[in-house]
Amino acid sequence: MVMIKHMISGLGKLFQKFLLMILRLMVRAFVIAGVLSVIAAGFFTVKGYQMYQGAIREQGLEERIEEVESDEDYVALYDISEEFRSQLVESEDRRFYDHCGIDIGSIMRAVIADVKAGAFVQGGSTITQQLAKNLYFSSEKKIERKIAELFVVYRLEKEYSKDKILEIYSNIIYFGESCYGVQEAASNYYNVDAERLNKEQAAGLVFTIKCPNVYNPNVYAKE
């Protein structure tokens, strides 16, 4: 404030008063915006935690994962071809083994892309976040849902290894045509088991994840 006063000291008194008034208004606006941001953050955090608590009460995390594992088409991570595993991580979350479930860099890049486009055009979710959403929540773009998802992410990263998280995720992804999990998808689209997926087949399934009903192998094979 003192520096700005010195900079405008050479201007007319009336103009000085006008600029200082504008400056004070801006400072107050920033303070108010900051306070409102804190209040909003607190509100959505509480709402998100309540949503998380409701989901966990309905079905605990361990019970939910056991349900996924009980599916007859569930396959262990190392019974899935290395081609699929490596391409999945490269495409969906290349820093998967380095972060703690949340990748700040990816989130910032997604925010910048969305702001430039004026719409949600890029996701910043990690594999762990996507697994949390698939286990408990819808794809509805609500702040409280994203926060609820983070509480599940914390539990997943705390209680399960990275390999286990990747294994569960591979078995719960939707691949279109009512196929959930890589084993169902491999059988449906290529008539092979998940462990026998080759490079091209793995690439086709990973590509499908982006938009299963549009990009699945049976659709783009007709194009």
Residue 110's pLDDT is 53
pLDDT at res. 75: 98
Task: Count Cα atoms within 13 angstroms, Cβ side, for 95.
Answer: 13
Helix (H, G, I), strand (E, B) or coil at 185: helix
What's the pLDDT score for residue 39? 78
Amino acid at 97: Y
pLDDT for the residue 112: 59
The type of residue at 17 is K
Query: What pLDDT score does 222 carry?
Result: 57
Q: What is the pLDDT of residue 34?
A: 73
Return the HEC string of 26-74: HHHHHHHHHHHHHHHHHHHHHHHHHHHHHHHHHCCHHHHHHHHHCCCCC
Q: What is the pLDDT of residue 146?
A: 87
Tell me what pLDDT residue 187 has: 97
- Report the pLDDT value the prediction gives residue 16, as an integer from 0 to 100: 56
Query: Comparing C-alpha atoms, which of 215, 219, 187 is closest to residue 203?
Result: 215
pLDDT of residue 119: 46
Q: What is the model's pLDDT at position 104?
A: 79
What is the separation of C-alpha 176 from the centre of its chain, rounded to a whole number of angstroms?
Answer: 20
Residue percentage of the chain with pLDDT more than 70: 74
Query: Closest by alpha carbon to 163, among 219, 88, 111, 112?
Result: 88
CA distance 93 to 11: 56
Mean pLDDT by 10 residues, the chain (223 residues): 52 57 66 71 84 94 97 97 97 93 72 50 78 91 87 95 98 95 97 97 94 82 57
What does the pLDDT read at residue 115? Answer: 45
Q: How far apart are CA 57 and CA 61, in angstroms?
A: 9
